[in-house]
Structure 1
């Protein structure tokens, strides 16, 4: 049995069986095939010829894992009535329940992996006290199961597996988490489930067996991820700040604002600079905390920005030495903040480089006025 702690319910937007189909397509070895509503709700067909049959039950109301659950006994009796050729090829009869539910009987069934434990359970099933009154509750389904005979019933019990978890999407997210940023997982989960569902429905419409090969599905999914790579764009984490937030920064006069003031900027340029500074600062923290970027990548970006600043300042000192200091500083600022660079090969929001330049100015690693080194001495040794 498997217990998950995440919240239930999101899978309802996709359908439980397509969600389980998608998970198995991502989880099973290449060469295996997964079917939907063919041999069972979902079935795993191994290259060796053996299969795993899975009954998938939603437990948002009621408990399909309770001792006398009609769902449970219907699954057991259906498995016991399988054609002999199919029955003998089954490695596991899996009973999947979500959100997490359990019961004394399913726990005992799950643990009855040898003939002795299975026989003890089967003996109890035959008692009148267990079956209950004829025709009442689960009794007809229990009788149907027992009618298959002891050898079959024992094998169903021995091969029974209970799997219960709170959120069936979590296992799919786990498969994608190593490849994609956290903020993109749900979008790709939805896409992967949709692809699995569409493919199997296409087979059904064509009158073909609804059977999908795992390796082929994963190849298509990888191609989809490459084509629609949401992770290639580092998305903004905040909207533009309000006017009062900008006014508050200007009133506090942090170093980057003082550096800009030294080159007599327009009020509009100053407001844009403060906005870019605030948004870039928020983005860096959020992206790093979410694992969307490596912090060392920001250091590499900063080195590139500082290098560009030095080269541009040197060029302007050669070509525009006659300009007054403030005007030369504004030209330097514009030339630097118009630069667009990627971060880890991903496109940055338009404001980010400008914001990061102001972060560097705030740390006195660079400046805009030709004499910024004397006006704003660096804190670095």
Structure 2
């Protein structure tokens, strides 16, 4: 048995990503509504309206020259303008379609930028459809739009835009979420969360027989909550925004704290010293920012350090057993290299590249570990007063 149910279902569900898209590009004072002024509309605080109709297909272009979807859309807009006494001068009309096709009447309508171009596009449409009979499916809409309200149609066409999207309508949503500085790796998570919230709001309003109108302020509150939750799923590298200052790096080299003296003890180069300082400072900034932002807490940070210490212990034992022929300095450099290249996660998330090495240097600075085989004698831990 053949059924067009999947196509019809897509036609309804595509309104959700479209409503979400308009909420993402809206601003303070705006409100986005569903099935109030067409499929989706944005109400502006100055009385302006962005009215959108959404057409979809799972097989091909639903907006051919003689398609009912095309002419019924313009008929609905003109009827709404007349019946609701809307100011067409404050309106924008969008026809969204999830499938592209050959440029026809709808393409020429969308290209029109002024009254003259709009009228020219209408004249071309008349020529293309001059053989339409009164028994054709589009006749009642075409007749109402072109024959009965041509001047109003010209005003609509002048403010009309055709938008072609993806099959399910979510590509534009992903792009706008990315523009809101949601981390790339968290875009899908964020989109699923905000989409679920929107569907819940729409369903509840319909069930309560309320108009589905969602203000920017209501959306922004939910966006902020989810954005904060998303950031907690991502170990942001705050040092991209707050990189170590050159004077801080030079000051570390001058003061030469224990972690740098530990590197001196195994004969590292000046470049190694500068790299260590950079990693140390970056890891310190990120650790503080992650804790301040609630991304991790002290227990998580302590657990991460414990994992690094355990790896250091195991590598130190392995090197003592298998690398007897190496000098003490070489053993230390081998241990340092193994630890710096260690892959470790924090709450199942991979930290920025400087975190592992920087944390090891912080531990060497206390010191609770070292690189030279005799590090405990060379750098005895100071007793607390």
The TM tier, using the shorter chain, reads 0.5 to 0.7
Match of 1:111 in 2: 111
Contact 1:259/1:368 (<8 A) preserved: no
Does residue 65 (structure 1) correspond to residue 122 (structure 2)? The answer is no
CA distance in 2, matches of 1:226, 1:24: 21
- Where 1:146 maps in the other structure, the secondary structure is helix
Q: Deviations over 1:301-353 (max 9, x none)?
A: 5233123135335xxxxxxxxxxxxxxxxxx5xxxxxxxxxxxxxxxxxxxxx
CA distance in 1, matches of 2:233, 2:102: 39
- Pick from 149, 169, 186 the counterpart of residue 184 of structure 1: 186
Match of 2:253 in 1: none
Match of 2:88 in 1: 88
Match of 2:318 in 1: 261
The TM-score with structure 1 as length reference comes to 0.61
Post-superposition shift, 1:117?
Answer: 2.1
Moved more, 106-115 or 16-25: 106-115
CA distance in 2, matches of 1:162, 1:183: 31
- Pick from 206, 213, 216 the counterpart of residue 214 of structure 1: 216
Matches within 5 A, 1:1-381: 15-84=13-82, 85-86=85-86, 88=88, 90-101=90-101, 103-127=103-127, 129-166=129-166, 168-177=169-178, 178-227=180-229, 229=231, 231-232=233-234, 259-264=316-321, 280-281=342-343, 294-295=352-353, 297-298=354-355, 301-312=356-367, 367=371, 369-370=373-374
Unaligned runs of 5+ in 1: 1-8, 236-254, 266-272, 314-331, 333-365, 373-381
CA spacing shift, 1:103–1:87, aligned 2, 3 Å: farther
- Where 1:155 maps in the other structure, the secondary structure is helix
Contact 1:35/1:44 (<8 A) preserved: yes
Task: Count matched residues.
Answer: 278
CA distance in 2, matches of 1:260, 1:35: 66
Unaligned runs of 5+ in 2: 1-6, 237-294, 296-311, 323-334, 377-385
Q: Deviations over 1:162-208 (max 9, x none)?
A: 11122632332233325332222111101112212222222222222
Post-superposition shift, 1:149?
Answer: 1.9
RMSD over aligned Cα, in angstroms?
4.0
Whose RCO is larger (CA < 8 A, sep 6+)?
1
Contact 1:59/1:101 (<8 A) preserved: no
